[in-house]
Chains A and B, each alone.
Chain A
């Protein structure tokens, strides 16, 4: 291991660009007059609305009931009246059934139901609270957390890892949380460990965030079962498999899950949300969002109510200094480009980036020169150039044989490619085709 630090093989070093917001304290974003709350903000089955137009709702009231185990309930982030329920733009692309609520400005909350003695709660009771609070992975993937906390009986979990790597450029929401409220993270981690019956907790933080390391270490002082570990700064250090490998030297088997090797990984933001749900009785109706990029007048870290549109968030940051060329939900390496500012912040929105024309400019692709840089940087040891070739030719068998399905879509290959080829893009496409074909053959 280079420099004696914990890391993985492969990876790239994109510019950090965190200076815009890293020293700016989290402040609450203005609560808008209208919020748009999608019924699907997570991986899995969408929710069914529990309200209808004209209904009055309070802050924290459950308005979406999950349909299925892999799903998470949705809560109102304002108090007011349901205006309509309609299909609305979603930051994940396409349109999603959403509850649109007119804010009455009174911010009336549902009386939180805080148990008298939290220490006496059983793991099952704690897990119920996590489920009811609608908590999902807050690093961006938005996988329902209660599912992660329910490993099958034959999977013995021995380690809980909290992801504080925040390896995406620009983003500083996890960083500010770690610097400002480390006790929330530790409290959440202890709840997760209790639910899983695990006695080892590890928090991994990249070494380009010394203040966060210091702050979380201080908060974890005296906790015998919790280790705070400095990770080498490299993208994608926060990718689940790479993070687990860096911290435990265990490899998630190809096609498997972390629980197969006894590990559960959660984002530091998710841990804080679990703390708030259990200790404060607060469901997940707001989150920290980094608003950055050179087109934003005052880049900020904001505590944003779910359902606030990107437009309202950007307005709160003083608006735009220049015509934006690209708006991204998430970070620049894996985030999703938006076609409009009229999309709501959802549970998985870690950042809103507004890039100027100069920042957003992408060079034209040219012929592959077979330099092999993509192979060198792939954290999964794939051969992106050959995979991409197979994908572009539409030869699914070959792409599958080249382990297309193992791709974690981190984008390191496309980032490094000197010919600027759409490597990860073509691999994502072929993965979709392979999945579709597998489904077809399974159903026929």
Chain B
């Protein structure tokens, strides 16, 4: 008889895998991408492709250079590339997604130890760097329907996003229906709330994410903006559907390695993001606030985990 394998228990494992989880995220993000390509044309498609390609190539290159196993097939770089591209305006020049994804993978992910070790969401941190470096390119929006949708359109007409208009920028506030479906200006990924929610439902169904962070996040933002925004319920609803809140709450704030693990911690993460977003949007200099809110809460995540450790089964309550 040949050698028997001796390993420690358990001897069977679930079918879950890292690549399957990442594939689920990619699938969930597809509807929003397809909608954006339909809305903005091949230019959006090119941005997405370049973002993903740059992320994957950067990861492969770094792993080759550092003589580590190349793990691009786990699809985590694809997710980062997609999210980075989704955070760019459809009018972005071709080099923006390329540089952005390279920064996300090299600087935010691998410098800190690779998959699972980044303390910030790579795509968001890269977006913040791009925004600081190239503010004009990062905030030139296209309003659908007023623009001939074609990649040949070299210079996009800059316009304000609904949230900027709410904040006082010039422009006509689109109808709420247009804001929900996605017939508005915004980044590639955030425009269609419907498409994003479709993907989010899939992620919840597949148990890739739990409801805690997104629900706490969106509810907190909605309540604060409604109470303090000045125009009541209308402001609250616009703030949910018109900006990056849904993309951020379901797809970015839920990033495994940069968000808390405990249930309580997830709720704190969501509420914290919600408060910061409302404050930035209402009182800060930017019309958006989702990215910075999530990044700030990312940094707090290890601390939140530490203080929200669940009580162990049978642990006796500590009386102070």
Task: Determine if B146 is an interface residue (Cβ-Cβ < 8 Å).
Answer: no
Q: Tell me which residues from 15 to 38 in chain A have a Cβ below 8 Å from any Cβ of chain B.
A: 15
Inter-chain contact B7/A362, CB cutoff 8 Å: yes
8 tightest Cβ-Cβ pairs between the two chains A and B: A411-B10, A372-B261, A418-B16, A332-B11, A381-B310, A380-B313, A254-B314, A337-B6
Contacts of A385 in B (CB 8 A): 261
Task: Determine if B145 is an interface residue (Cβ-Cβ < 8 Å).
Answer: no
Task: Determine if B64 is an interface residue (Cβ-Cβ < 8 Å).
Answer: no
Contacts of B261 in A (CB 8 A): 370, 372, 375, 383, 385
Digitize A385-411: 1 where CB-to-B-CB distance is under 8 Å, 0 elsewhere: 100000000000000001100100101
Contacts of A325 in B (CB 8 A): 4-5
Inter-chain contact B13/A335, CB cutoff 8 Å: no
Contacts of A380 in B (CB 8 A): 312-314
Digitize A369-384: 1 where CB-to-B-CB distance is under 8 Å, 0 elsewhere: 1111101000111110
Inter-chain contact B314/A416, CB cutoff 8 Å: no
Contacts of A324 in B (CB 8 A): 1, 4
Interface segment, one of B17-25, B122-130, B163-171: B17-25
Interface segment, one of A49-57, A274-282, A299-307, A420-428: A420-428
Inter-chain contact B21/A369, CB cutoff 8 Å: yes
Q: How far is the CA of A409 from the CA of B9 in the complex (A)?
A: 9
Least CB separation from A380: chain B residue: B313
Q: A327-B4, A425-B8 are in contact. Are A369 and B71 (CB under 8 A)?
A: no
Inter-chain contact A419/B9, CB cutoff 8 Å: no
Q: Tell me which residues from 156 to 182 in chain B have a Cβ below 8 Å from any Cβ of chain A.
A: none
Number of A-B contacts (CB under 8 A): 151
Among B2, B6, B11, B117, find the residue whose CB has the most chain A CB atoms closer than 10 A.
B11
Inter-chain contact A363/B17, CB cutoff 8 Å: yes
Task: Determine if A349 is an interface residue (Cβ-Cβ < 8 Å).
Answer: no
Q: How far is the CA of A380 from the CA of B262 in the complex (A)?
A: 14
The 30 sampled A-B contact pairs (Cβ below 8 Å) are: A251-B313, A254-B314, A324-B1, A325-B4, A332-B11, A333-B10, A334-B10, A335-B9, A336-B9, A337-B11, A340-B4, A341-B1, A353-B11, A355-B11, A362-B11, A366-B74, A368-B116, A369-B18, A370-B261, A375-B310, A380-B313, A380-B314, A383-B310, A406-B313, A409-B9, A411-B9, A416-B14, A418-B16, A419-B116, A424-B9
Contacts of B312 in A (CB 8 A): 254, 380-382, 403, 406
Contacts of A323 in B (CB 8 A): 1-2
Contacts of B10 in A (CB 8 A): 14, 332-334, 411, 414-415, 424
Contacts of A355 in B (CB 8 A): 11
Digitize B226-263: 1 where CB-to-A-CB distance is under 8 Å, 0 elsewhere: 00000000000000000000000000000011000110
Task: Determine if B309 is an interface residue (Cβ-Cβ < 8 Å).
Answer: yes
Inter-chain contact A253/B7, CB cutoff 8 Å: no
Inter-chain contact B16/A333, CB cutoff 8 Å: no
Q: A254-B312, A254-B313, A403-B312 are in contact. Are A369 and B12 (CB under 8 A)?
A: no
Q: How far is the CA of A415 from the CA of B15 in the complex (A)?
A: 9
Using A362-B13, A363-B17 as known contacts, list a sample of 4 further A-B pairs with CB atoms less than 8 Å apart, ordered by residue number in A: A15-B12, A337-B9, A381-B312, A383-B262
Inter-chain contact A370/B257, CB cutoff 8 Å: yes
What is the CB-to-nearest-CB distance from B113 to chain A, in angstroms, rounded to a whole number? 8
Inter-chain contact A369/B115, CB cutoff 8 Å: yes
Q: A332-B11, A360-B11 are in contact. Are A418 and B4 (CB under 8 A)?
A: no
Q: How far is the CA of A325 from the CA of B4 in the complex (A)?
A: 5
Residues of A in contact, count (CB < 8 Å) = 63
Task: Determine if B311 is an interface residue (Cβ-Cβ < 8 Å).
Answer: yes
Interface residues in chain A, defined as those with a beta carbon under 8 Å from any beta carbon in chain B: 12, 14-15, 169, 241, 245, 251-254, 256, 323-328, 332-341, 353, 355, 360, 362-363, 366-373, 375, 379-383, 385, 402-403, 406, 409, 411, 414-420, 422, 424-425, 428
Inter-chain contact B1/A252, CB cutoff 8 Å: no
Q: How far is the CA of A353 from the CA of B313 in the complex (A)?
A: 31
Task: Determine if B316 is an interface residue (Cβ-Cβ < 8 Å).
Answer: yes
What is the CB-to-nearest-CB distance from B298 to chain A, in angstroms, rounded to a whole number? 12
Inter-chain contact A418/B313, CB cutoff 8 Å: no
Q: How far is the CA of A10 from the CA of B156 in the complex (A)?
A: 53
Inter-chain contact B315/A370, CB cutoff 8 Å: no
Task: Determine if B114 is an interface residue (Cβ-Cβ < 8 Å).
Answer: yes
A241: contacting residue among B4, B257, B314, CB under 8 A = B314
Q: How far is the CA of A385 from the CA of B71 in the complex (A)?
A: 21
Q: How far is the CA of A216 from the CA of B290 in the complex (A)?
A: 59
Contacts of B115 in A (CB 8 A): 366-367, 369
Contacts of B4 in A (CB 8 A): 324-327, 337-340
Q: How far is the CA of A81 from the CA of B212 in the complex (A)?
A: 68
Q: Tell me which residues from 59 to 74 in chain B have a Cβ below 8 Å from any Cβ of chain A.
A: 71, 74
Inter-chain contact B8/A337, CB cutoff 8 Å: yes
Inter-chain contact A254/B5, CB cutoff 8 Å: no
Q: How far is the CA of A332 from the CA of B311 in the complex (A)?
A: 29
Q: Tell me which residues from 4 to 53 in chain B have a Cβ below 8 Å from any Cβ of chain A.
A: 4-14, 16-18, 20-21
Contacts of A334 in B (CB 8 A): 9-10
Contacts of B5 in A (CB 8 A): 325-326, 337, 360
Least CB separation from A414: chain B residue: B10
Inter-chain contact B18/A332, CB cutoff 8 Å: no
Q: A324-B4, A337-B7, A362-B7 are in contact. Are A381 and B311 (CB under 8 A)?
A: yes
Q: How far is the CA of A386 from the CA of B21 in the complex (A)?
A: 21
Q: How far is the CA of A253 from the CA of B74 in the complex (A)?
A: 41
Q: How far is the CA of A26 from the CA of B62 in the complex (A)?
A: 60
Q: How far is the CA of A372 from the CA of B10 in the complex (A)?
A: 19
